[in-house]
């Protein structure tokens, strides 16, 4: 029997299942952050929703913790890295609220189109304002969806029933898969310029924070209506309020905000805006599903059995030889995704050298985990990564050969016209990127990297350094790639900070520079 600490309300059915399994269920809702440090001391499992923050300090205090369960999808309030370092499994309920979130999106879409809350408020206040709150039909309008994960696809299916044309932007969905769903994939600028309604279904990452900001809003089709039931911070609320006030955006409907809970936003004073207090998952059915699912996952973890929704599967499943390469595989997946600008139809993962003698399936999972980890609207684990690949129409091919030309071990990802290769070097097993497209390089993976293709002529390297230096950007590392013919026509530059788009454009316009590609997801 183990003690399970539950700090927020979840479905009683899930708690009863844990009790039936012989565990002591200690419900302590409303516990303060300081008191949580004491409450977690002898708990083997901790179950939370969104209000409890599981920090590194909480994990350190919970010396007996085996598993942390988040009864929902998002993991913003759980320090997964700290949990992993301490060997604590983190599990969630990734499918519990997708239907509720999709339905709430449609509710806000309809409310925004027909001004339902505004008309209700006016009428109950004694004003008959029939002319003021004239709406628009959904039929024959274009719905733009940013993020075509589970929720995005559910929204697309339901919007199609209203006779809407569906376009979407998601570089990690194969065009053929989108066509099967009767959805046209477009780039972000085309979506902004075409959509009558826009709905967001993306994870909150450095790439998506402020995605809908001044620059994006300057490109939208006049009269667009914007809905967000994904994550707060994806929309710049001040910029959106300005666009609504000046009439470029006809209206907006938001369920999530930059800071939560909140009763203060520049959007709240605008009559064209509909808002709800993060109700996307607030249905009885979603809460029941989340409670039942998380209880099941926690029970499996405490029993030492296979846990389908673990988001930080222990590397103990890999051999001693394979295990050190798991972080490298994930980094290569992230870098490849940024380099390729999404997923290809076919991704080949090749293992050369000693690795070929071992079971490398978990390494391929680490590659997929990195590839999808920063772009989906749900956490990615070793378990759900293959399912995500299948849903996005990505075919993964593993090949192995014990013959390695220049390295003891080498992992190569290829597809879509791009390739990246990496290995571990030295006694400490330091990661290195040793191949990029058709060039040989030798650089450690970094958070901010530029790939610069150039004419093989004197002075180009200095020109790149000068432009970055003039912009106040420090070069942390740099290598000149050699092509098979010996031409030095590629540079990989690691910088201490992200390179702004204006500086990238300046590089692209410099003499001798053929292309500049930013990869900032290592």
pLDDT digits (tens, 9 = 90+) for 243-260: 999 999 999 999 999 998
Q: Tell me which H or E stretch contains 247.
A: none
What tokens appear for 231 in the block? 């994550």
How wide is the angle at C-alpha 190 spanned by C-alphas 257 and 414, nearest 5°? Answer: 90
Per the document, the length of the chain is: 522
Per CATH, the number for 3-96+284-302 is 3.40.50.720
Q: Which residues are catalytic?
A: 231, 260, 278
Per CATH, the number for 98-275 is 3.40.50.720
What tokens appear for 420 in the block? 């990246």
What confidence tens digit (pLDDT) does each residue in 471-514 have?
Answer: 999 999 999 887 777 666 899 999 998 899 899 999 999 998 99
Q: Please classify residue 20 by burial: count the beta carbons closer than 10 Å to its beta carbon, then call 0-12 exposed, 13-18 middle and 19+ buried.
A: exposed
Q: Tell me which H or E stretch contains 146.
A: strand 142-146
- Ordered by start, the domain boundaries in the chain are 3-96+284-302, 98-275, 321-519
Give the CA radius of gyration of the chain: 25
Per CATH, the number for 321-519 is 3.30.1330.90
Query: 30 — alpha (psi -120 to 50), left (phi > 0) or beta?
Result: left
Confidence class for position 387, pLDDT limits 50, 70, 90: confident
What confidence tens digit (pLDDT) does each residue in 164-222 have?
Answer: 999 999 998 988 889 999 999 999 999 999 999 999 999 888 889 999 999 999 999 99
Taking alpha carbons only, the member of 471, 493, 469 closest to residue 481 is 493
Q: What is the pTM of this model?
A: 0.78
How wide is the angle at C-alpha 150 spanned by C-alphas 295 and 231, nearest 5°? Answer: 80
Q: Which of 1-15, 21-35, 60-74, 365-379 has the lowest mean pLDDT?
A: 365-379
The CA distance from 286 to 293, in Å, is 10
What average pLDDT does the structure give for the chain? 91
β-pairing, 430-436 with 439-443?
antiparallel
**Are domains 3-96+284-302 and 98-275 of this chain identical in fold?**
yes
The torsion of the CA quartet 60, 385, 201, 159, rounded to 10 degrees, works out to -140
How far, in whole angstroms, is CA 478 from its chain's centroid?
28
Q: Are 437 and 419 in contact (CB under 8 A)?
A: yes
The sign of the dihedral angle between the CA atoms of 127, 133, 139, 144 is negative
What is the percentage of the chain residues whose pLDDT exceeds 90?
Answer: 70
How far, in whole angstroms, is CA 131 from its chain's centroid?
42
Confidence class for position 374, pLDDT limits 50, 70, 90: low
Q: Are 301 and 67 in contact (CB under 8 A)?
A: yes
| End-to-end CA separation in angstroms for the chain | 41
Residue of 134 and 486 predicted with greater confidence: 134
The CA distance from 342 to 521, in Å, is 12
Q: At what angle do helices 284-302 and 12-20 cross, to 10 degrees?
A: 20
Beta-carbon contacts of residue 431 (< 8 Å; ≥ 6 apart): 327, 328, 331, 422, 423, 424, 444, 445
Q: At what angle do helices 326-340 and 361-373 cross, to 10 degrees?
A: 40
Q: Are 111 and 253 in contact (CB under 8 A)?
A: yes
């Amino acid at each position: 029997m183990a003690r399970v600490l539950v700090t927020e309300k979840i479905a009683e059915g899930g708690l009863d299942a844990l009790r039936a399994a012989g565990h002591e269920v200690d419900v302590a809702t409303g516990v303060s952050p300081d008191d949580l440090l004491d409450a977690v001391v002898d708990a083997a499992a901790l179950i939370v929703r969104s209000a409890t923050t599981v920090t590194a300090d909480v994990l350190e205090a919970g010396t007996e913790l085996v598993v942390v369960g988040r009864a929902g999808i998002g993991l913003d309030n759980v320090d997964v890295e700290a949990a992993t370092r301490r060997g604590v499994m983190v599990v969630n309920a990734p499918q519990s609220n997708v239907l509720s979130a999709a339905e709430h999106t449609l509710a806000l879409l309809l409310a925004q189109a027909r001004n339902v809350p505004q008309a209700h408020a006016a009428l109950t206040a004694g004003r008959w304002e029939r002319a003021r709150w004239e709406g628009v039909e959904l039929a024959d309008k274009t719905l733009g969806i940013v993020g075509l994960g589970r929720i995005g696809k559910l929204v697309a299916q339901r919007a199609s029933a209203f006779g809407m044309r569906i376009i979407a932007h998601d570089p990690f969905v194969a065009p053929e898969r989108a066509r099967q769903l009767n959805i046209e994939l477009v780039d972000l600028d085309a979506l902004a310029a075409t959509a009558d309604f826009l709905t967001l279904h993306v994870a909150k990452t450095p790439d998506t924070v402020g995605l809908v900001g001044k620059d994006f809003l300057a490109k939208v089709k006049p009269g667009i209506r914007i809905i967000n039931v994904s994550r707060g911070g994806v929309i710049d609320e001040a910029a959106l309020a300005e666009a609504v006030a000046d009439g470029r955006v006809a209206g907006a409907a938001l369920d999530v905000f930059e800071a939560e809970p909140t009763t203060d936003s520049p959007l709240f004073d605008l009559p064209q805006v509909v808002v709800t207090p993060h109700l996307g998952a607030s249905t009885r059915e979603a809460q029941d599903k989340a409670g039942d699912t998380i209880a099941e996952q926690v029970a499996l973890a405490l029993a030492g059995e296979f846990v389908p929704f673990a988001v930080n599967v222990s590397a103990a499943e890999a051999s001693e030889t394979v295990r050190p390469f798991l972080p490298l595989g994930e980094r290569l997946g992230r870098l490849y995704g940024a380099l390729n600008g999404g997923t290809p139809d076919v991704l080949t993962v090749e293992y050369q050298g000693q690795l070929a003698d071992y079971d490398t399936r978990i390494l391929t999972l680490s590659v997929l985990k990195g590839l999808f980890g920063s772009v989906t609207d749900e956490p990615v684990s070793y378990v759900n990564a293959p399912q995500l690949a299948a849903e996005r129409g990505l075919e993964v091919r593993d090949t192995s050969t014990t013959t390695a030309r220049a390295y003891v071990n080498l992992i190569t990802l290829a597809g879509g016209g791009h390739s990246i290769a990496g290995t571990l070097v030295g006694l400490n097993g330091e990661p290195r990127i040793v191949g990029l497209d058709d060039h040989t390089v030798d650089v450690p993976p970094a958070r901010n990297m530029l790939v610069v293709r150039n004419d093989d002529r004197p002075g180009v390297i200095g020109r790149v350094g000068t432009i970055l230096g003039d912009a106040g950007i420090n070069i942390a590392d740099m290598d000149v790639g050699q092509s098979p013919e010996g031409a030095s026509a590629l540079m990989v530059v690691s910088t201490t900070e992200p390179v702004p788009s204006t500086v990238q454009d300046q590089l692209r316009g410099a003499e001798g520079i053929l292309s500049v590609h930013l990869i900032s997801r290592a």
